[in-house]
């Protein structure tokens, strides 16, 4: 077809955790501009399989922009050049035919590369497990409106809860810091009455998990906010800082 | 005597364990404090608090230095230098200031090291930084320039003023006409700064730091280095001032604009500009 594109891809290939890794150059031919970036990767992989080569491994799941699984660093940007979208929602019309696109995995010592473009984001799970929960009574479900919550706080909490844990904040941060992720997870509970019982312990334990994973510290460059596909605000980081200091000096 | 021995025994038996208990509590608090300080937020708090103190210092230093622009043969500036180095509260604050500069720098270097370690493999793709400011990405570099500047600056003016022989001037201001006469005094006769009145004249005897400053600023290379360092100061504070408030968790929407405004106008432009104006003024207009 006439409108189709030919793309040169410079892709990071790495066999496993211990492999040093290197860039390989591939051609993706006859790509429809309406394909998503992942569909373009699928087409390229089909060709690699036909040629008897190892296809490029990458993470993906829902392909609807809500699961947080896809994780490519495209042309120096987490999730590519467009604002507020994940890689699966990035379409080839955002590029020009003949472009060379550099595709890399998230780079962070806390996110070791497992294979090619797949990184191990278990460090996020450990942060979440350290404090991303609330204690509730078992038994019959309580009435939904029994606890009054101010509208603007509910909105703020929802905005924080929009975090899909994709790790773009870590990838975009020059320090590979997970402050934006952690602050979203802290804020979504800290803003609501249900989150108050564990508020201090939560932030202390999450911070501990953050440090142990080897993420960097925050320099307030706000690159994370600019790259976050869900538009999580760095206001949450200010809240995290306040809560952490309060918990450090007044917690048990 | 018996009573005294008893009271000692009671103290050993009852009070000592309590004191030990208290020290245990003290240890616990200190452990918690150091655990906090070693966390990334704690270290950033340290950067923010020391940084804001240094911002305050820069304001004071700059306003004092404005005396350099006075055409009085250096009288006001030399008196200001004496005041800063002899007035006890200022002396205490200045030593705290030296310590905080060192703490800010060492903690900064450590943070750079730790943050670099968090990304062992760099990206290949050309980075598009979007709305991210250049200052915020280069605080370590800017801070290093300022650290070198401070060391040379202190080695130059501070060390010479404190430890080196230097020209001593005697300013005699006529009480009636207000005219000031300046005369040099041999360094060997100098026994410390003096300020007194004699026959209706105001007499001030001081080391001529003003002369040292004027002389240093005759070197175009030094002036260039000074001006470059003030650019570094501008960019460092442009990000640093407002970033400190974010780190401290002070970020209400309406407050944010005020902080950014002060950070840019006062610390990013006004103060570095006035500092840089001093060597330029001496090089070209003196």
Please write the tens of the pLDDT for every residue from B191-243: 888 899 988 888 999 999 999 899 999 999 999 999 999 999 999 999 999 99
3 state SS of A231: coil
Question: What's A46-114 look like in SS3?
Answer: HHHHHCCCCCCCCCCCCCCCCCCCCCCEECCEECCCCCCCCHHHCEHHHCCCCCEEEEECCCECCECEE
The burial of A141, by beta-carbon neighbours within 10 Å (0-12 exposed, 13-18 middle, 19 or more buried), is given as exposed
Every domain of chain B and the residues it spans: 167-207
Nearest to B249 among A73, A107, A242 (CB): A242
pLDDT tops 60 at residue A1: no
A234 touching chain B per CB within 8 A: yes
Name the packing angle between helices A199-213 and A235-250 (round to 10°). Answer: 110
Mean pLDDT along residues B100-105: 97
Write the CB contacts of B20 (distance below 8 Å, at least 6 apart in sequence): none
Report the alpha-carbon angle A93-A180-A200, nearest 5: 155
The whole-number pLDDT of residue B185 equals 87
Chain A segment 140-159 residues within 8 A of B by beta carbon are none
pLDDT of residue A52: 96
Strand order in the sheet with A22-31: A22-31, A5-13, A100-104, A73-74, A77-78
CA–CA gap between residue A69 and residue B110 (Å, rounded): 33
pLDDT tens by residue, A103-137: 999 999 999 999 999 999 999 999 999 999 998 88
Q: Looking at the DSSP assignment, which residues form a beta bridge with residue A203?
A: none
> B173 Cβ partners below 8 Å, 6+ apart?
B75, B179, B180, B181, B201, B202, B203, B204
Q: Which of the two residues, B48 and B14, has the higher pLDDT score?
A: B48
Neighbours of B189 (CB within 10 A): 8
pLDDT at residue number A251: 66
C-alpha B229/C-alpha B142 separation (Å) is: 9
Could you tell me if A210 lies within 8 Å of chain B, comparing CB atoms?
Answer: yes
> What's the length of chain B?
286
Kindly identify which residue of chain A lies nearest to residue B112, measuring between CA atoms. A175
Say yes or no: do domains A5-104 and A122-250 share a fold.
Answer: no
Q: What pLDDT was estimated at residue A6? A: 95
ipTM of the complex: 0.91
Fold of A122-250: Fumarate Reductase Iron-sulfur Protein; Chain B, domain 2 (1.10.1060)
Question: pLDDT tens across A158-202, in order?
Answer: 999 999 999 999 999 999 999 999 999 999 999 999 999 999 999
Instruction: Name the A residues in 115-144 with CB < 8 Å from any B CB.
Output: none
d(CA B62, nearest CA chain A) in Å: 27
| Per-residue pLDDT reduced to its tens digit, B54-77 | 999 999 999 999 999 988 889 999
Rounded to whole angstroms, the Cα distance separating A210 from A127 reads: 6
A217·B130 Cβ contact <8 A: no
Average pLDDT of chain B, as a whole number: 89
Given the DSSP bridges, would you call strands B180-185 and B168-174 parallel, antiparallel or unpaired?
A: antiparallel
Q: Using 50, 70 and 90 to split pLDDT, how confident is the model at A244?
A: very high
What mean pLDDT comes out for the span A201-207? 95
- B20 pLDDT exceeds 80? no
Q: Do A176 and B118 touch (CB under 8 A)?
A: yes
Residues A103 and A45 sit within 8 Å (Cβ to Cβ)? no
Q: What is the mean pLDDT of residues B74-92?
A: 91
Domain boundaries, given as residue ranges, for chain A: 5-104, 122-250
CATH of span A5-104: 3.10.20.30
Residue pLDDT, tens place only, A20-34: 999 999 999 999 999
Q: Residue B199's pLDDT is what? A: 85
CA distance A235 to chain B (A): 7
Instruction: In whole angstroms, give the CA distance from residue B186 to residue B207.
Output: 11
What pLDDT band is residue A2 in, cutting at 50, 70 and 90?
A: low
Say whether pLDDT at A146 is over 70: yes
Phi, psi (rounded to 5 degrees) for A70:
-70, 150
pLDDT digits (tens, 9 = 90+) for A57-109: 999 999 999 999 999 999 999 999 999 999 999 999 999 999 999 999 999 99
Q: Which residue shows structure tokens 């005219």?
A: B179
Q: With bands split at pLDDT 50, 70 and 90, how would you rate the model's confidence at B251?
A: confident
Give me the half-sphere count of Cα atoms (radius 13 Å) on the Cβ side of residue A57.
12
In a 13 Å sphere around the CA of A225, the CA atoms on its Cβ side amount to 16
């Amino acid at each position: 077809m006439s409108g189709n594109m030919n793309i040169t891809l410079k892709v990071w290939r790495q066999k496993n955790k211990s492999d040093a890794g290197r860039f390989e150059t591939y051609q993706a031919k006859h790509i429809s501009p309406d394909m998503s970036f992942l569909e373009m990767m699928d087409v390229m992989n089909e060709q690699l399989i036909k040629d008897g080569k190892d296809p490029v491994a990458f993470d993906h799941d829902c392909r609807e922009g809500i699961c947080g699984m896809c994780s490519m660093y495209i042309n120096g940007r987490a999730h590519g050049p467009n604002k507020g979208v994940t890689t699966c929602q990035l379409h080839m019309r955002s590029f020009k035919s003949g472009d060379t696109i550099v595709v890399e995995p998230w780079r962070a010592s806390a996110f070791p590369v497992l294979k090619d473009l797949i990184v191990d984001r278990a460090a996020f799970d450990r942060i979440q497990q350290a404090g991303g929960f609330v204690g509730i009574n078992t038994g019959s479900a309580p009435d939904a409106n029994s606890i009054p919550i101010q509208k603007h706080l509910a909105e703020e909490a929802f905005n924080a809860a929009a975090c899909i844990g994709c790790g773009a904040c870590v990838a975009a941060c020059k320090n590979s810091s997970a402050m934006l992720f952690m602050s979203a997870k802290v804020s979504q509970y800290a803003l609501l009455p249900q989150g108050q019982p564990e508020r201090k312990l939560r932030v202390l334990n999450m911070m501990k998990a953050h440090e142990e994973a080897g993420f960097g510290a925050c320099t307030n460059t706000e690159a994370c906010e600019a790259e976050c596909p869900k538009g999580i605000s760095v206001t949450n980081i200010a809240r995290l800082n306040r809560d952490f200091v309060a918990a450090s000096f007044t917690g048990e | 005597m018996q009573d005294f021995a008893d009271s000692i025994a009671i103290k050993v038996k009852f009070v000592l364990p309590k004191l030990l208990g208290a020290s245990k509590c003290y240890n616990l608090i200190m452990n918690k404090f150091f655990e906090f300080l070693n966390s990334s937020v704690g270290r950033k708090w340290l950067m923010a608090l020391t940084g804001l103190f240094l911002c305050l210092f820069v304001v004071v230093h700059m306003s004092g230095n404005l005396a350099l622009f006075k055409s009085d043969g250096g009288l006001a500036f030399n008196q200001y230098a004496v005041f800063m180095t002899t007035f006890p509260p200022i002396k205490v604050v200045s030593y705290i200031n030296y310590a905080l500069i060192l703490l800010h720098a060492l903690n900064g270097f450590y943070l750079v090291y730790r943050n670099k370690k968090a990304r062992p493999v760099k990206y290949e793709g050309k980075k598009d930084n979007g709305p991210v400011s250049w200052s915020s990405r280069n605080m370590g570099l800017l801070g290093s320039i300022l650290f070198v500047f401070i060391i040379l600056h202190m080695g130059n003016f501070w060390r010479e003023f404190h430890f080196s022989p230097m020209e001593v001037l005697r300013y005699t201001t006529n009480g009636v006409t207000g005219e000031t006469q300046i005369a040099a005094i041999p360094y060997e006769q100098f026994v410390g700064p003096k300020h007194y009145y004699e026959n209706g004249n105001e007499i001030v005897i001081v080391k001529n730091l003003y002369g040292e400053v004027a002389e240093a600023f005759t070197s175009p290379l030094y002036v260039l280095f000074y001006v470059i360092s003030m650019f570094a100061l501008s960019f460092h504070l442009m990000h640093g001032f407002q970033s400190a408030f974010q780190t401290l968790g002070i970020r209400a929407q309406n407050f944010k604009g005020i902080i950014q405004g002060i950070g840019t106008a006062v610390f990013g432009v006004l103060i570095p500009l006035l500092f840089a104006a001093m060597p330029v003024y001496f090089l070209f207009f003196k």
